[in-house]
Chain A
Amino acid sequence: MHTFQKVSAVFWPAFIVSVVASVILFSIIDPLSLFYTYDISRLAIYSISFLFLWLITALSSAITLYFIYPCKSHVEYD
């Protein structure tokens, strides 16, 4: 695979999934009801949560990508 294809296979599905997850999460939960004692804006919580979700979903995609390739001892490179 191209390097580009690998990079997009990790970060792009993770991006889409974390957008969906953020929308669902924050349609149920108003972040200010959780963080009312802190001086933090909704936008900041949305943003940080989204970036964090993106990070962990990208990690999941990266592990998937890693497991797609068989163990080295069985690979016959041509």
Chain B
Amino acid sequence: MEDKKPAKSPKGKPDSLDTELYSKRQKIYPREVHGLFARWRTFGVLTLLGIYYIMPWIEWGGRQAVLFDLPARKFYIFGMVFWPQDLIYLTALLALAAFALFFFTALAGRLWCGYACPQTVWTEAFLWMERRIEGARPQQMKLDKRPWDFTKYRIKATKHFVWIAFSLYTGYTFVGYFMPIKELTTDIITLQIGGWALFWVIFYGFATYGNAGWLREQVCIYMCPYARFQSAMIDEDSLIISYDEKRGEPRGARKRSTDPKESGLGSCIDCGICVQACPTGIDIRDGLQYQCIGCSACIDACDDVMDKMQYPRGLVKYTTLNRLEGKHTHILRPRILVYALLLIALTVSVFAAIINRDPIALDVIRDRNTLFRETGMGMIQNVYTLKLLNMDQKPHVYSLSIEGMENAELKLDVDKIEVDSGEVLEISARVEVDPAVIKTRSSEMNFTLTAIDDPKLTVTEEGRFMGPVAGR
């Protein structure tokens, strides 16, 4: 299915399309690297994981700051409340994210993949655990080759136990974004967690364990759509990670004392450390490949070797295709300017739209326990919970009315409907109707909420009136 021919291997091995697609996956043991880019990635991993695990515990105005409360159909993001009808803003935010991805890819290649993608972030965390338990790359390879004895079982069991525990904690945190995490924690401690909540904790935990522990680079190569189409977004002026072939070739092993000029060798000592460091198992010296996630581990690895050889750094480095060919690189080019303008325009309009949202909302929830009841006066009564949301900058007093049912009477348990700025007021409303006028088991009816001081602030929501059909 992949129409791109793999780069020809300089060693002349039969690296055809077929062998690439049909060969069995070789387990990759990425070598630990240290250096500038490794530090940036560690910074990215710690920041993003920190945000992920801490965010659900942050409180804002007496409730969880970020909560996509699916059971209640409300999304809380700090001071803002979003309702299902606000889906358009989510769509706009996703479009914004896509444009940001276009912009950064055109500018600097796969920055996202190398430093911020959840797949990279969790894989890094899992690799870190694996190295602490199994040891560095050579120890890991030795352990895998050794026959199954007690020590091997012990080490492997420890690793998987730690991985699974971390994954389940990840799954629990994930579910904590969709239902209040404090309630979830209490439910877990008291063993009263609901079946579906438990299912999603295990599902997300299993996905984390599978993707970061087992699948790793295969997710990037076979499952990620971005990896396939990112080549359409980069051009000759985008930053890419590349091997400087002119300087490196002809490659070859040599003693440190050898003068490369005299022996006719390039700077590449063919140590293969860049290949060992690569989390997707490619050789950067073969050129730009779609498997490269731009993590720059090979840059750090090679710079380390260059330092030891007392050669200048940068045999593998961030560069552009134009610079590699000795041409001038244009950072400010039409593509970047157009993407940047679109990104700015979209960002401004999305946030302006969110800020200028209709500052009033009403949610009508029918009492679920009883469909209807008969009052002492012989009327049919339905009970509703009304959630009134004031997104305006000042408090308002509202009036509430109903339409659609003949002679329906609205009874509230409050005298004055007052909602503070940015607050949600929950009130109980009873609607009473004469059974003689009820024609269908379920009738439509509208609740209208209007601000008394500003009649332009008005919203109508549908409610449903349930009752016995007369004469039956």
Contact = CB atoms under 8 A, between A and B. Distances in A.
A27 B196 contact: no
B305 to A, nearest CB: 33
Contact of A12 (B1, B223, B368, B464): B223
Nearest to B18: A78
21 contacts: A2-B21, A4-B25, A4-B222, A5-B222, A8-B223, A23-B90, A24-B87, A26-B84, A28-B84, A30-B73, A32-B368, A33-B464, A36-B371, A37-B371, A41-B194, A43-B179, A43-B196, A43-B197, A44-B195, A47-B199, A47-B200
Contacts of B199: 47
B143 to A, nearest CB: 24
A43 B25 contact: no
B222 A42 contact: no
Nearest to A46: B70
Contacts of A44: 195-196
A1 B2 CA distance: 10
B85 interface: yes
B366 interface: yes
A36 B371 CA distance: 9
Interface in B354-375: 366, 368, 371
B71 interface: yes
A2 B405 CA distance: 63
Interface of B: 1, 21-22, 25, 70-71, 73, 84-85, 87, 90, 179, 194-197, 199-200, 215, 218, 222-223, 366, 368, 371, 464
Contacts of A9: 222
Contacts of B1: 1
Contacts of B22: 2
Given A42-B73, A44-B196, A1 B21 contact: yes
B464 A27 contact: no
Contacts of B197: 43
Contacts of B223: 8, 12
Interface in A1-59: 1-2, 4-5, 8-9, 12, 23-24, 26-28, 30, 32-33, 36-37, 41-44, 46-47
A63 to B, nearest CB: 17
Contacts of B195: 44
A12 B222 CA distance: 10
B70 A43 contact: yes
A44 B194 CA distance: 10
A23 B71 CA distance: 13
Contact of B25 (A2, A30, A33): A2
B218 A4 contact: yes
Given A4-B25, A4-B218, 19 more contacts: A2-B22, A2-B25, A2-B222, A4-B222, A23-B87, A23-B90, A24-B87, A28-B84, A30-B73, A30-B84, A32-B368, A33-B464, A36-B368, A37-B371, A41-B196, A42-B70, A43-B71, A43-B197, A44-B196
A41 B71 contact: yes
Contacts of B85: 27
A27 B87 contact: yes
Nearest to B366: A36
A54 B148 CA distance: 39
A23 B195 CA distance: 21
Given A26-B84, A33-B464, A36-B366, A43 B222 contact: no
A4 B87 CA distance: 34
Contacts of A24: 87
B285 to A, nearest CB: 25
A44 B84 CA distance: 18
Contacts of B196: 41, 43-44, 47
